[in-house]
Amino acid sequence: MIKHFNSEEIMAADSFFRRNLINCLSGFKSLNLIGTQDGEGKTNLAPFSQVFHIGANPPMVGILFRPTTVIRHTLDNILNTGVFTLNHVTSKFYQESHWASAKWETSEFEATGIVPEYLNGFKAPFVKESPVRLACSLLETQTLKVNQTILMIGSIDSIYIEEIGLRKDGSLDLNALDTVTVSGLDEYHVGKKLGRLSYAKPQTKPEEI
């Protein structure tokens, strides 16, 4: 059976119901902990599901921040210091990662027990337990006219990867790395591989590689 919501029904729905539903519609989302520091060196750590690929040459990521109607430490810290880290979350600490989204007075590292690490003099803290860690710098921000969401673009300056998950062709085995994905606002999953497929050409159906 198929459930249909038209435009009026979507807008007439309970706001909690609508928020859950719309947040799930795009499908599985990436999950990264963003590590930052403020001007006084106080650390901050926050889970984000809106990090995506912008380009490989040069390497860049994009991050969406909801409208700044409340205090956004992560965004403020990046605008102030110009740097941040991205850290994959694994099944071993996805609960602590979720907890980092609470409104803490202290640093989320101290509060949740997630361990910070500093690498090669980079000013923002990495997550010690994370199997994929990126050092990034602010390139630009744009505000979306439609709803004041902020799109931030960052350059990827340095990459740290657990070798067990790095294949010879450069691709990552996210299952070996135990990388977690999120759906909606609060549901966490690991991946169960279906297959890797050959480059798509009209003549023959793609095959597993």
The residues in 152-171 that bind a copy of itself, with binding defined as CB under 8 A, are 153, 156-164, 166-167, 169-171
Closer residue to a copy of itself in complex, CB, 39/88: 88
- Residue 140 found at the interface with a copy of itself (CB under 8 A): yes
**123 belongs to the binding site for a copy of itself (CB under 8 A):** no
**Amino acid identity at 143:** T
143 bridge partner residues: 150
Those residues whose C-beta lies under 8 Å from the C-beta of residue 187, and which sit 6 or more positions away, are: none
State whether residue 39 is helix, strand or coil. Answer: coil
Q: Does 111 bind a copy of itself (CB under 8 A)?
A: yes
User: Are 169 and 175 in contact, with CB atoms under 8 Å apart?
Assistant: no
Q: Exactly one of 40, 71, 121, 201 binds a copy of itself (CB under 8 A); which one?
A: 201
Q: Shortest CA distance to 192 belongs to which of 167, 206, 207, 173?
A: 173
Helix (H, G, I), strand (E, B) or coil at 134: strand
Segment interacting with a copy of itself, rule: CB under 8 A, options 36-44, 68-76, 77-85, 179-187: 179-187
Instruction: Give the residue, chosen from 36, 43, 44, 181, that forms a contact with a copy of itself under the rule CB under 8 A.
Output: 181
Q: Does 22 bind a copy of itself (CB under 8 A)?
A: yes
Between 3 and 39, name the residue whose CB sits nearer to a copy of itself: 3
Site for a copy of itself contains 138 (CB under 8 A): no
Ranges within 53-82 binding a copy of itself (CB under 8 A): 53-62, 64
Asked if 93 and 114 touch (Cβ cutoff 8 Å), the reply is yes
Of residues 39 and 57, the one with the C-beta less far from a copy of itself: 57
Q: Look up residue 114 and give its two tokens.
A: 């997630």
| Smallest separation (angstroms) from a copy of itself to the CB of 3 | 5
Which residue from 17, 42, 110, 115 is in contact with a copy of itself, where contact means CB under 8 A? 17
CA 113, CA 101: separation in Å to the nearest integer?
13
Can you tell me the distance from the alpha carbon of 133 to that of 161, in angstroms, rounded to the nearest whole number? 7
- 3 state SS of 78: helix
- What 8-state DSSP symbol labels residue 202? S
Residues between 27 and 56 that touch a copy of itself (CB under 8 A): 27-32, 50-56
